[in-house]
């Protein structure tokens, strides 16, 4: 007797289940869930952020916030100190995408809150124009590496200040992410006086994720 996969391919199974839910009185709930907006940002203590920055880095956390989008996404924002008079906040944002814990949840996930890839040439140009007006911006020719892998960044400079915008998408389940976590998105924006770009990137180089599901020591990732 042929197996169920040969009779109903996986795509067909998902379609059939979705159709069954839509005709079983759940249609309104599913529609509302798909359009679910993020909750308002709420203040949290800096210690509640799922990340620690290297103690030697001079980047005080001025404020910390978080919000949810359904049960799948949690977003965190750390507002960092800014010694310059440039517009905009120095910040570190963390978006965590978890896997649904039920078949129903898998069928009715909210829309992804971050794009993949994180930036295209067009969206990066628009982002840097907004973040660093009237500054000379250059995309780094070579990616940089922290304990979670390679990341890309841009450098913006004027006569008195330098800024960096770095971003990273973590999807490596073999080395760091448990199956419960689908992806983690990191974005870091920092401006400082002078032209020491390496010092500006040091906090992003040395950060450590402390999510309960992703606690890994640096030594476990070193040399990989």
β-strand pairing of 90-98 with 181-193: antiparallel
pLDDT of residue 199: 94
* Closest to 96 in 3D by CA, of 59, 70, 124, 62: 70
Q: Which two tokens stand for residue 128?
A: 């840097």
CA distance 224 to 217: 13
Each residue of 26-54: pLDDT tens digit?
A: 444 444 454 578 899 999 999 999 999 98
Each residue of 123-144: pLDDT tens digit?
A: 999 999 999 999 999 999 999 9
CA distance 122 to 3: 47
Residues (pLDDT < 50) of the chain are 1-10, 13-14, 16-18, 20-32, 34, 214-224
CA distance 44 to 64: 5
Give the contacts of 72 (CB within 8 A, at least 6 positions apart).
Answer: 97, 98, 99, 100, 105, 109, 110
pLDDT of residue 71: 83
CA distance 105 to 79: 32
Question: Where exactly are the structural domains of the chain?
Answer: 1-35, 39-221
pLDDT of residue 221: 46
pLDDT of residue 105: 55
CA distance 177 to 182: 8
pLDDT of residue 212: 66
């Amino acid at each position: 007797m042929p197996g169920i996969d040969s009779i109903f391919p996986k795509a067909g199974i998902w379609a059939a289940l979705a159709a069954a839910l839509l005709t079983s009185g759940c249609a309104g709930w599913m529609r509302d869930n798909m359009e679910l907006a993020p909750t308002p940002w709420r203040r949290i203590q800096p210690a509640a952020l799922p990340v620690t920055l290297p103690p030697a880095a001079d980047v005080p956390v001025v404020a910390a916030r978080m919000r949810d989008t359904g049960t799948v996404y949690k977003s965190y924002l750390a507002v960092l100190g800014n010694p310059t008079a440039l517009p905009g906040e120095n910040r570190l944002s963390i978006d965590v995408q978890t896997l649904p814990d039920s078949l129903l949840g898998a069928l009715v996930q909210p829309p992804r809150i971050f794009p993949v890839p994180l930036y295209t040439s067009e969206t990066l140009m628009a982002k840097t124009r907004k973040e660093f007006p009237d500054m000379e911006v250059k995309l780094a020719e070579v990616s940089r590496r922290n304990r979670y892998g390679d990341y890309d960044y841009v450098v913006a400079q004027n006569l008195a200040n330098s800024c960096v915008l770095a971003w990273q998408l973590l999807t490596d389940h073999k080395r760091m992410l448990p199956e419960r976590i689908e992806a983690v998105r990191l974005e870091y924006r920092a401006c400082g006086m002078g032209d020491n770009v390496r010092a500006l990137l040091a906090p992003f180089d040395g950060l450590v994720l402390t999510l309960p599901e992703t606690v890994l020591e640096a030594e476990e990732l070193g040399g990989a």
